[in-house]
Structure 1
Amino acid sequence: MQVTIMKARNIFKLYQQALARRPYLVQAIQTGTLMATGDIISQTFIERKSFKDVDLKRTVGFSSIGFFVGGPALRVWYGLLNNHIGSDGKAVALKKVFVDQVVFAPAFLLLILTAVGTLQGKNWENIEKDVEANYLDVLKTNYYVWPWVQLVNFYYIPLQYQVLVVQSVALFWNTYLSWKTNRKRLIE
Structure 2
Amino acid sequence: MNSIRGLFRLCQKSLSRRPYVVPAIQTGVLMGSGDIISQTLIENIRITDIDVKRTLKFSSIGFFVGGPALRYWYGTLYKFVGSSGKTVALKKVIIDQIFFAPIFLFSILVAVAVMQGKDVNNIKKDLEANYLDVLKTNYYLWPWVQIINFSFVPLQYQVLLVQVVALFWNTYLSWKTNKKTEIVKMN
TM over 0.5: yes
> Who is 1:173 aligned against?
169
> What is the match of residue 13 of structure 1?
9
2:180 to 173, 181, 184: 184
Question: How much does 1:130 deviate?
Answer: 0.4
Counterpart residue type for residue 77 of structure 1: W
**Within 5 A, what are the aligned runs for 1:69-88?**
69-88=65-84
Distance 1:14 1:150 in 2: 26
Equivalent position SS for 1:23: coil
When you count helix as a share of all residues, which structure comes out higher? Answer: 1
TM value normalised by structure 2 = 0.96
- The DSSP-based 3-state class of the residue aligned with 2:10 is helix
Aligned-residue CA RMSD (Å): 1.0
Match of 1:161 among 157, 160, 177: 157
Is structure 2 residue 37 aligned with structure 1 residue 36? no
Is 1:135 paired with 2:150?
no
Normalized against structure 1, the TM-score is what?
Answer: 0.96
Instruction: State the Cα distance separating 1:30 from its structure 2 match.
Output: 0.4
Q: Which runs of 5+ in 1 are unaligned?
A: none
Read off the aligned partner of 1:172 and give its amino acid letter.
Answer: F
Q: Secondary structure at the match of 1:184?
A: coil
Q: Give the Cα–Cα distance (whole angstroms) in 2 for the partners of residues 150 and 8 of structure 1.
A: 27
- Quick one: distance in 2 between partners of 1:121 and 1:58? 11
The alpha carbon displacement at 1:6 in A equals: 1.6
Match for 1:106: what amino acid?
P
Map of 2:109 onto structure 1: 113
Per-residue CA deviation, residues 73-111 of structure 1 (Å, 9 max, x unaligned), is: 000000000000000000000000000000000000000
% identical aligned pairs: 66
